[in-house]
Amino acid sequence: MLHFKVQCAQFFYVITMSHSSTDDTNTPQGDVLPAPGYAGDISCQTAYRWWQSGQAVLVDVRSSAELAWVGFVPGALCVPWKEWPGMALNPNFDEQLRAAVPPGKKVLMLCRSGVRSIAAAQRAAQLGLQAYNILEGFEGNPDANGQRNRVGGWRFHGLPWQQG
């Protein structure tokens, strides 16, 4: 059993991770899809492998409210792209991101569905970082009934996460 401490915005969590899955059955294995303005798009599983191997830093760009109410990835660094209420751009994003990513490391951007993380990856690339967007995000896109976590995303693929 592994123990992590994660500080996300104003929230501080002590979390326990005991199980994860890295099944790549339905996603590209290690493929980087080209993307305009940043290093590329990658699957959740590729992101998890790169992060666990120490090649990259995992940055969750969701708001502190989403992290508290929906869930978060243990050990991920939290640098909100936009913040609740009102989803205003984080005026300290550049400074916080630079502080979070050591020189020479890739940065992997995670949001709810892989949309805000595109903007964050583009900004990170403008700051000189090798930035990747994680396809499907934390919750994936909604299914035909408008529900998330059923057709893709970090949680759907059984990767480590915590709620509460």
Residue 158 lies in a domain: no
Cα distance between residue 46 and residue 28, in whole Å: 8
Range of the domain at 105: 2-134
Residue 154 lies in a domain: no
**Residues 153/140, Cβ–Cβ less than 8 Å:** yes
Residue 32 lies in a domain: yes
Instruction: Please write the tens of the pLDDT for every residue from 53-72.
Output: 999 999 999 999 999 999 99
Closest CA to 147 of 111, 113, 109, 110: 113
Closest CA to 97 of 120, 74, 118, 119: 120
Residue 19 lies in a domain: yes
The reported pTM is: 0.80
Round the average pLDDT of the chain to a whole number and report it: 84
Instruction: Please write the tens of the pLDDT for every residue from 135-163.
Output: 999 999 999 999 998 889 999 999 999 99
Residue 74 lies in a domain: yes
| Helices 93-100/116-126 angle, 10° precision | 70
Return the CATH number at 54: 3.40.250.10
Residue 156 lies in a domain: no
Count structural domains, the chain.
Answer: 1
Residue 149 lies in a domain: no
Residue range 99-126: mean pLDDT, rounded: 96
